[in-house]
Amino acid sequence: MGKVQIIGGGAWGLALARRLALNGHEVQLWRRPGPALDVLRAQKEDARLLPGVTLPESVLLVDEPCADPEFVVYAVPSRGLREAAARWAFPSRTIRVSVVKGLERETLMRMSEVILDAAPGGPVAALSGPSHAEEVGRDLPASVVAACGREDVAEAVQHLFFAPAFRVYRSEDLVGVELGGALKNVMAIAAGVCDGLALGDSAKAGLMTRGLAEMVRLGTACGAHPITFAGLSGVGDLIVTCSSRHSRNRAVGEALGQGKSLAEILAASPKVAEGIYTAPVARALAAAHNVEMPITDMVCRLLDGAINPRLAMETLLERSAKPERS
């Protein structure tokens, strides 16, 4: 069994630490020092982020990561990934795994690119797919995909996480898997607006489908395989993030649809909704590749307060008729 260092003690980091410890691995979890870490050490639970989910006693909570893990799992918000990757050096044999679903605002980079840019060294993989921390932490079934351009690395990550209730597939399309995980959060905000406006299931299904078309357009322009978006990190993650009561991004959109401001929404929850930060980066990336993404653009305008939710949806519905494939 492997020695695994997790960087980040949010809900997803906690759920994965538990999963890996139950798999028999030697797990260390780094979280920023402070009262929240002290409570986690004492209770092995964070009732604020992941109530009812307890870490096994074998999970070691550390102030500094171990120096020579076999795997490092980055489970921090996208805005903090560069700092986390640059802060600690690991041996070149260490496999680094991003479970972060976002894009970097300043560079338009995917998360694996950020890690390689901030800390050149060993191989980097991504783990993505339809999986909520609230469910994985309770051992409910989930299926995800481990991706890396090197098949041996993808297979190593697959075996690291694999369990009967946590099925892990593998892929060599790192670009597609990462973009699927990032872009679906933007579409989930739009789907949440449908819920907030009570537009019905038909409208929401149509928006999700056209959102998937946007994801495929941008993904293929960036070098991804179109078929990847028909898999777990594409349509699978899109379905759960647009539909689930656990989805932070869908909840943000629903609150926007109900007339709340973004400032009010952010103040009401300690959890990060990555789609808020991904939307403007996705729009810039689309512009760089000359790709049309009307739903993404509308989400950006909603988040900026430049348009009200009902007018945003009406504007999308009034777009000119065209073939479905376009």
- What residues act catalytically? 184
Parallel, antiparallel, or unpaired for β 142-147 and 124-128? antiparallel
Q: What number of other Cβ atoms are within 10 A of residue 262's Cβ?
A: 15
The alpha carbon of residue 68 and the mean position of all alpha carbons in its chain are separated, in whole angstroms, by 26
Burial class for 322, CB neighbours closer than 10 Å (0-12, 13-18, 19+): exposed
* Residue whose tokens read 């903090």: 80
For residue 237, CA distances in Å to 46, 79, 105, 185 come to 25, 21, 22, 9
Residue 5, phi then psi, degrees to nearest 5:
-110, 120
- Alpha-carbon gap, residue 22 to 17, rounded angstroms: 9
- Secondary structure (3-state) at 61: strand
- Secondary structure (3-state) at 323: coil
